[in-house]
């Protein structure tokens, strides 16, 4: 069971974008979580639902459960990738920069209920 909802995660990502301006590359990441698509635009500093109208520099596919584990530090991005829980297509260097976004998002999420 996931700790967060998809809406909570992507709202937190959007809130985190201003704090990583200049640290996060000006690239477009298309992320699909449990079949729901989001566009993370590092150029505009925005996160929106849907694939957007631009081609992504990186495509990431995962589940909400895996994303929640990444955000609660129960799993590292490298572990998720090696276990096949995080599928990546495109710029692998950009994939490594996702840690910046994950760390910033973590600070904007509500405290999980235990």
pLDDT in tens, 51-110: 767 789 999 999 999 999 999 999 999 999 999 999 999 999 999 999 999 999 999 998
Domains delineated in the chain: 6-105 (3.30.1050.10)
In this prediction, residue 93 carries a pLDDT of 92
111 close to 71: Cβ distance less than 8 angstroms: no
Tokens 């209920």, located at residue: 113
Model confidence, pTM: 0.87
Beta bridge partners of 38: 31, 49
Do residues 31 and 97 make contact, with C-beta atoms less than 8 angstroms apart?
no
Question: What is the β-pairing status of strands 28-33 and 58-62?
Answer: parallel
Read off the pLDDT of residues 20-63 as tens digits, 9 standing for 90 and up.
999 999 999 999 999 999 999 999 999 999 876 778 999 999 99
Taking the C-alpha atoms of residue 4 and residue 112, their distance in angstroms, rounded to an integer, is 8
- Tell me what pLDDT residue 55 has: 85
**Token pair belonging to 69:** 């584990």
Determine the pLDDT at residue 113: 60
């Amino acid at each position: 069971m996931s700790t967060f909802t998809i809406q909570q995660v992507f709202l937190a990502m959007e809130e985190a974008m201003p704090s990583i301006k200049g640290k996060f590359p000006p690239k477009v990441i298309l992320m699909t979580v449990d079949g729901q698509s989001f566009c993370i635009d590092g150029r505009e500093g925005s996160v929106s639902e849907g694939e957007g109208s631009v081609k992504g520099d990186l495509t990431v596919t995962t589940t909400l459960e895996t994303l929640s584990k990444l955000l609660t530090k129960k799993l590292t991005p490298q572990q998720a990738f090696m276990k096949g829980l995080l599928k990546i297509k495109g710029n692998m260097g950009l994939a490594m920069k996702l840690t910046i976004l994950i760390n910033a998002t973590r600070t904007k999420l509500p405290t999980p209920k235990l």
